[in-house]
Amino acid sequence: MSEAAADRLRCLVKDYQQGRLSFPEYRRLRTALLDSLGREPGEEGVAAELIAEVITQPRPPAAPSPVVTSKPAASPRSRWVGALVLGLVVVVTIGAILVLERGTPESSGVPVPGSPVGSDRIYDVIEPLMNNPDWGEARIAAVNASLLEEGGRQIAARQQTEWFQRFAAEVRRRLESQRAAGAEGLVPDQSALAALAVTIGLNLKDLDAPLTPPPRGGSDSTARLPDQH
Amino acid sequence: MTAFTWRSGSATSQGNVRTHNEDAVLDLPAVGVWVVADGMGGHDAGDVASRMIVESLCAIPRAERLSELLDRVEDRLRSVNQRLFGLSLQRGTTTGSTVAVLVACGDHCVSIWAGDSRVYRLREGALTRVTRDHTEVQDLLDGGLLDEKAAAEHSASNVITRAIGGAQELFLDVELRELRQGDRYLLCSDGVYKELTDADLARLLAGEDPNAACRALMSQALAGQCSDNVSVVVVEFS
């Protein structure tokens, strides 16, 4: 039981840190898990199933697509919940198709406020970072590389959306915080965060300036990953 | 459920170079809580931060359930985080601390941590690291961008990505382990594992009793350059 319990606890921690569980939900599920340790197998199964059910249901609007984790054999209750979730997914999908077919701004590439309807590759790249407290160099560098692959034109097309502005504000805040802490070398060649800032159109010399069209992706990009020693 | 008992020891030192000690330790066997905190921010900041952590946990009441004890520790650490983060904003410099906590109740223990202070387990002669550092170098290692040798020599090896007081919202990692007879756990600050190899840690941790193991670990660490503060807590379960 303990190995499985340790794995489940790890999943709970991750789900909380990535925004799929609120702190009270995380606490409640963690308590249920730890209190089930040493109980009879049947009782442990109830706690495990409860945790699995809750984790499979993401908090709206944390992610554009549902996060699915492995789940034990479905109980009548979980089958009912599954049918409900499936129904909601079908309704949302039909709605998205109708919106796209009617030629709304999204289909012509004009920025819209809020999260994008349907899939957006730029959003899909930055959203996991926004929901993760861990902004390590490697993670930022990976996001930057993905954005560079998408290209400056794609980024520029989303610069005025609410979600992109929120992302830019977070990058700006982190840069300002590092500068305030006396960090040196906040330039694209030495800092993944600075490189990311350039990629999304921030001006490192004037962080409060409006976003400018970023450099084109690919070989003509001036935004570089930091040196890896 | 097996009722485990435990005995523990602890030690801390400013090392051979630093003029003051920003580490703090807590050895609370009556409750089943042990802590190593490594402050950052310099004198009158780092030591304040690590001391605040230890002081917030030293009066923690005993609990009947592991979940209860974990909640209490987490609540106190979150509260200290708020105070330290406020202090950082007020002072305009980071006042924070890493932390590694071990809590035990019944036949399980939980490690809770933020930053690069570590928890190790010695079981039947095999040393295992329980915690994963919250550092830029660890991220690079996990991303396959560095190997262990390059990581050890990396210029950013001291850059941590998480700490108590480092951000408005605190995310603590948690690891659960089942206890076994004879298990020994080591909590230590980075000054220790940067001075000693894993083989050293395993050999010295296996000392006669927890206090002897602490003395041996400290003695060996201080025999080297020991440019950082060094702190250890050793807990033995039986």
Given an 8 Å threshold on Cβ–Cβ distance, is A138 in contact with B161?
Answer: no
Query: Which of A12, A34, A227 is best to mutate for the B interface (most B CBs within 10 A)?
Result: A34
A34 and A26 Cβ atoms separated by less than 8 Å: no
Q: Is the CB of A134 inside 8 Å of chain B's CB atoms?
A: yes
Q: How many angstroms separate the CA of residue B66 from the nearest CA in chain A?
A: 7
Domains along the sequence of chain B with CATH: 6-130+162-237 (3.60.40.10)
Could you tell me how far CA B202 lies from the centroid of its own chain? Answer: 17
Name the one residue in this structure whose structure tokens are 């382990």: B177
Is the ipTM higher than 0.90? The answer is yes
Quick one: pLDDT at residue A80? 45
- The CB density around residue B190, as the number of other CB atoms within 10 Å, is 24
User: CA nearest B103: which of B205, B3, B177?
Assistant: B177
Q: Tally the domains of chain A.
A: 2
pLDDT in tens, B78-129: 999 999 999 888 888 889 999 999 999 999 999 999 999 999 999 999 999 9
Given an 8 Å threshold on Cβ–Cβ distance, is A34 in contact with B143?
Answer: no
Instruction: Please enumerate residues of B whose Cβ is less than 8 A from a Cβ of A.
Output: 1, 65-67, 70-71, 92-94, 106-108, 110, 134-136, 138-140, 142-143, 145-146, 150, 154-156, 161-162, 167, 169, 171, 173-178
Name the one residue in this structure whose structure tokens are 């909640």: B71
Q: Which amino acid is at A135?
A: W
Confidence of residue B142 (pLDDT cuts 50, 70, 90): confident
Same domain, A132 and A197: yes
What own/partner pairs with CB < 8 Å and gap ≥ 24 does A174-180 have? A174/A135, A175/A202, A175/A204, A175/A207, A176/A207, A180/B92
* Within-domain flag for A225: no
* Within-domain flag for A114: no
- Residues facing B24 on adjacent strands: B37
What count of residues does chain A have?
229
* Within-domain flag for A106: no
Given an 8 Å threshold on Cβ–Cβ distance, is B138 in contact with A180?
Answer: no
Given an 8 Å threshold on Cβ–Cβ distance, is B146 in contact with A228?
Answer: yes
* Within-domain flag for A86: yes
Given an 8 Å threshold on Cβ–Cβ distance, is A228 in contact with B108?
Answer: no
pLDDT in tens, B12-62: 999 999 999 999 999 999 999 999 999 997 767 889 999 999 999 999 999
**The tokens of A34 are what?**
């730890």
Quick one: pLDDT at residue A72? 34
User: CA nearest B98: which of B171, B38, B172?
Assistant: B38
Q: Is the CB of A27 inside 8 Å of chain B's CB atoms?
A: yes
A141 and A192 Cβ atoms separated by less than 8 Å: yes
Per residue of chain A (229 residues), give pLDDT as tens. 578 899 999 999 999 999 999 999 999 999 999 999 876 555 545 555 555 555 544 444 333 333 222 333 334 344 444 455 555 555 555 555 554 444 333 333 333 335 666 677 888 888 878 877 777 777 787 777 777 777 787 888 888 888 888 888 888 888 887 787 777 677 777 777 888 888 888 888 888 888 888 765 433 333 333 333 3
* Within-domain flag for A152: yes
Q: How many angstroms separate the CA of residue B143 from the nearest CA in chain A?
A: 7
For residue B143, list chain A residues with Cβ-Cβ distance below 8 A: 138-139, 141-142
Q: What is the mean pLDDT of chain B?
A: 94
Given an 8 Å threshold on Cβ–Cβ distance, is B138 in contact with A136?
Answer: yes
* Within-domain flag for A14: yes
Residue A111: phi and psi, rounded to 5, are: -60, 145
Same domain, A30 and A70: yes
**The tokens of B107 are what?**
């036949």
- The CB density around residue A35, as the number of other CB atoms within 10 Å, is 15
* Within-domain flag for A110: no
Domain that holds residue A15: 2-91
**The tokens of B13 are what?**
């030192």
Quick one: pLDDT at residue A106? 35
Given an 8 Å threshold on Cβ–Cβ distance, is A37 in contact with B177?
Answer: no
For residue A141, list chain B residues with Cβ-Cβ distance below 8 A: 143, 145
Same domain, A130 and A188: yes
Query: Which of B139, B146, B164 is best to mutate for the A interface (most A CBs within 10 A)?
Result: B139
